[in-house]
Amino acid sequence: MDSSHETEELVVLVGADGRPAGTAPKATVHTADTPLHFAFSAYVLDPEGRLLLTRRALSKRTWPGVWTNSFCGHPGPGEITVAAVRRRASEELGLQPAQLGAVEEVLPDFSYRATDSSGIVEYEVCPVFVVRLTGPVALAVNPEEVDAWVWAAPADVVAAARALPEVFSQWMVAELADPRLVAALG
């Protein structure tokens, strides 16, 4: 596609009433004064029940090189969140639609505000999903999003996040503190 026809990725801002209140360019919205916007977090389980952890690419504007949940993203204007989860599974991890089994919204009411070491703020209404893969798993990660990845037992990940929270993204640590997510991960 000719780059002059590519559209700028937008995030959907959240109004005081919790509803969409306009958009802002993703490339410029994350600053020291990030406005509240819609996002999501996803945890991927393979057919054996292992959890995919990813290390954010070193080139990422926010939380570069930090270990986190499988993937995150932002629904676009008018996009249903579960559709955004499926889209980002492909864009970040190279997962094909046929590989994606159940996509379950586990924490529909999760939101957070966090500041990384450079002063960049994330401020999101961020429902959390568990994605169960079917069949053989072949990742084709996008190096602009993911630097490294590992499959681990969910119980080991929960224990590590509790013991060493500074090693992981602040949102992942907060999400894994919720017993609903821990139960969903098995």
CB atoms within 10 A of CB 36: 15
Element (H, E) at 163: helix 154-163
Q: Provide the strand spans (E) within 100-153.
A: 100-107, 111-115, 121-125, 128-133, 146-152
How far is the C-alpha of 136 from the C-alpha of 113, rounded, in Å?
A: 36
Residue 100, strand partner residues? 133
Which of these is catalytic: 124, 126, 145, 175? 124
For residue 124, indicate whether it is catalytic: yes
79 marked ligand binding residue:
no
Q: Which two tokens stand for residue 96?
A: 């094909």
Which of these is catalytic: 48, 72, 91, 126? 72
5 marked ligand binding residue:
no
For residue 72, indicate whether it is catalytic: yes
Residue count (the chain): 186
How far is the C-alpha of 81 from the C-alpha of 105, rounded, in Å?
A: 10
145 marked ligand binding residue:
no
Active site residue ranges: 72, 124
Annotated binding site for Mg(2+): 92
Annotated binding site: 30, 37, 74, 92, 122, 124
